[in-house]
Structure 1
Amino acid sequence: MIVITAPTGHIGGRLLDILLETSTRTGELRVIVRDPAKLPDAVRDRVDIITGSHGDPEVVDRAFAGADAVFWLIPPDMSASSIDSVYTGFTGAATKALTTHGVGHVVGVSALGRGTPVAGSAGHVTATLAVDDLIASTGVAYRALTNPSFMDNVVWQANSIRDTGIFTGTLPADYAAPLVATRDIAAAAATLLLDRSWTGTAEVPLLGPEDLTPTDMAHTISEVLGREIHYEQESLDSLRAHLTARGAAPEIVTAFVDMMRAKNNGLDNAVPRTPATTTPTTFREWCTRTLAPAVFA
């Protein structure tokens, strides 16, 4: 039995599709979901559904009973009073349930940055790495999928790209960094969950096929959309103001700003790209498959 958290999100939903394609028996997969109605009808008929939040002790206790492996992804919480409550606080109940039910393997979505020197906290990244340590402390076999920024984050700016021809970010326009598509994260998770011959604790970096500058990204988006698209760098102070205006809690805003400051200073660039760390989806392919439909919707 494989338990999947966040099964209606970009990563969890794609992972569920992959696992259903390989599953031969109904009941081999279990999902934890707040609203089962968000699952497609065909999916609801083939999985065991536990309704609720995977931060709830009673929910994860029921979900992990009889489970061999768990896919762990923490949902965002823009209103939380502290960054620790979003990450290690949310995961605490799960670690107890992993131990109680003797779950053998866990695959988690994490971030690049372990061992990379940063001045102070790296916000969400620092909190994510603490979750990896917490899960590993249970003695479960654990693989942390460590990621740079997602290509899919650009979709949040589809309206701006369509209406103004501009997308923004905090990186300098000429700063090259890795990017990964969420579909490739899901594929890597599926590979690990289906072949559980691995033991111990390790990180699995997923770096995408190439490092890109925001200028490179703007050029590719322009070619795919058939119109000129420009990148504008946003200051960290501006990012703080925008997140605050959207209603994010002060500690969450600070964590985002600290994370982006660390990325500006090389947080995502320390791991070398090798065949093992290279995922297949190019930014051009992602723009064609995902961004263009969102812009033209």
Structure 2
Amino acid sequence: MIVVSSATSNTGSAVAEALLAAGEQIRVLGRSLDRLQRYVDRGAEAAVIRTGDPGSLREAFAGARAGFVMMAPGIIPRCDDFAAHQRRVISAHQTALAGLDGLTRIVSLSGWAANYAGARGPVWGLRPFEEALDTLADVEVTHLRAGWFMENALPMIEEVRATGVARGLIPADLPLPAIATADIGAVAADLLTGRREAPTRTLELQGPRDLTPGEITAAIGKALGRPEARYEQIDAATMRDGLLAAGFSAHMADGTTAMTLDVAERRIVMTRSRDADTATPTTFEEFLAHVAG
């Protein structure tokens, strides 16, 4: 049995789909049984959990030989102390997974922000999450430090569709290690089943090539039939104001802006060059063809 946490998230669902396609018996975890039903219909077990509750987590992982875990949700827009939420989730996983009979392998979704010791905002907890999982005895742990999710471009698609302009804090010419979550799921599934061995405890992942926001916007414009599409860089204050207008608390608006600044000012970077271990196959154009409609 392989357990997949946050199976309704983009990456969790990609892991579950890859494991089901490989014929594996899985148990999917989430906060709503209704949203897990599509996996149950295909033969999976399902369990409703509270990510900050070690008791429900330990019960959900009982009998598993391997598990995929992640910090979820990644953002709580109206939260006033996201670090406290992350500490509860980290502690719950460390307590729940310690000493579980038969559990020998864990794959965690981390992120390239964990490369930066001073990471702020929603990604602050990634490295502490890794460190907590590293304390598990007799469990092989691999942390996937994935780059910039291609799914981050979904709001840009809607902006370009509506106005022809995508706006963001990251400079137009800054290369980003864009990666599709479907590819992260495929790598995680291979690690969980033992079809792949990680060369190191932390495995950076990135797509076939870096993309700048300018290139991303141009590709979106081409896919949508809007060749005039352009990218416009905004400042931190404008980003923060936009988040507040969208309903974010001041705490989450500040943290999300700080996180994005760490990318924009190149404090969050990949530490390994792209190679056979770190590169994944899906191009941004292939991703767009799937989601842009």
Q: TM-score, normalised by structure 1?
A: 0.88
Residue 203 of structure 1 deviates from its aligned partner by 0.9
Residue 40 of structure 1 deviates from its aligned partner by 4.4
Name the structure 1 match of 2:123.
125
In 1, Cα distance between equivalents of 2:136 and 2:240: 36
Gaps of 5+ in 2: none
Give the percent of matched residue pairs that are identical in Structure 1 and Structure 2. 29
Aligned with residue 52 of structure 2, among 52, 55, 80: 55
Aligned partners of 1:160 and 1:167 also within 8 Å:
yes
Classify 1:12/1:137 alpha carbon distance in 2 versus 1 (closer, same or farther; 3 Å).
Answer: same
Give the paired residue count: 287
Gaps of 5+ in 1: none
Instruction: Tell me the alpha carbon deviations over residues 79-107 of structure 1, each in whole angstroms, 9 at most, x when there is no partner.
Output: 33323223232121121111141422111
Residue 210 of structure 1 deviates from its aligned partner by 0.9
Q: What SS does structure 2 have at the residue aligned with 1:87?
A: helix
Match runs of 1:247-266 below 5 Å: 247-266=247-266
Name the structure 1 match of 2:239.
239
Aligned partners of 2:114 and 2:145 also within 8 Å:
no
Instruction: Tell me the alpha carbon deviations over residues 17-38 of structure 1, each in whole angstroms, 9 at most, x when there is no partner.
Output: 11111126xxx21111221212
In 2, Cα distance between equivalents of 1:60 and 1:246: 32
In 2, Cα distance between equivalents of 1:17 and 1:207: 20
In 2, Cα distance between equivalents of 1:157 and 1:255: 20
In 2, Cα distance between equivalents of 1:125 and 1:240: 17
Residue 202 of structure 1 deviates from its aligned partner by 1.0
Instruction: Tell me the alpha carbon deviations over residues 113-166 of structure 1, each in whole angstroms, 9 at most, x when there is no partner.
Output: 44547xx54333332111111111223321111022211111134332211112
Q: What SS does structure 2 have at the residue aligned with 1:277?
A: coil
Amino acid at match of 2:242: H
Aligned partners of 2:160 and 2:221 also within 8 Å:
no
Instruction: Tell me the alpha carbon deviations over residues 166-188 of structure 1, each in whole angstroms, 9 at most, x when there is no partner.
Output: 22221111122211111111111
Name the structure 1 match of 2:144.
145
Q: What SS does structure 1 have at the residue aligned with 2:60?
A: helix
Runs of 4+ in structure 1 deviating by more than 6 angstroms, as ranges, are none
1:284 aligns with 2:282: no
Instruction: Tell me the alpha carbon deviations over residues 171-220 of structure 1, each in whole angstroms, 9 at most, x when there is no partner.
Output: 11112221111111111111111117858971111111111111111222
In 2, Cα distance between equivalents of 1:95 and 1:200: 24
Match runs of 1:102-113 below 5 Å: 102=101, 103-113=103-113
Name the structure 2 match of 1:29.
26
Amino acid at match of 1:289: H
Q: Please, which moves more after superposition, 190-199 or 270-279?
A: 190-199
In 1, Cα distance between equivalents of 2:65 and 2:200: 16
Instruction: Tell me the alpha carbon deviations over residues 39-81 of structure 1, each in whole angstroms, 9 at most, x when there is no partner.
Output: 3446345112112323222210211111111111222322333
Aligned partners of 2:151 and 2:181 also within 8 Å:
yes
Residue 250 of structure 1 deviates from its aligned partner by 2.9
Aligned partners of 2:190 and 2:196 also within 8 Å:
no
Name the structure 2 match of 1:72.
69
Coordinate RMSD, CA, aligned: 2.2
Instruction: Tell me the alpha carbon deviations over residues 258-295 of structure 1, each in whole angstroms, 9 at most, x when there is no partner.
Output: 211111122124331112111101111111122x21xx
Q: What SS does structure 2 have at the residue aligned with 1:211?
A: coil
1:268 aligns with 2:273: no
In 1, Cα distance between equivalents of 2:277 and 2:195: 18
In 2, Cα distance between equivalents of 1:254 and 1:196: 42
In 2, Cα distance between equivalents of 1:65 and 1:261: 41
In 1, Cα distance between equivalents of 2:128 and 2:70: 14
Name the structure 2 match of 1:86.
85
Q: TM-score, normalised by structure 2?
A: 0.89
Amino acid at match of 1:128: L
Name the structure 2 match of 1:161.
160
Aligned partners of 2:78 and 2:248 also within 8 Å:
yes
Name the structure 1 match of 2:5.
5
Aligned partners of 2:111 and 2:126 also within 8 Å:
yes
Q: Please, which moves more after superposition, 33-42 or 228-237?
A: 33-42
Classify 1:216/1:67 alpha carbon distance in 2 versus 1 (closer, same or farther; 3 Å).
Answer: same
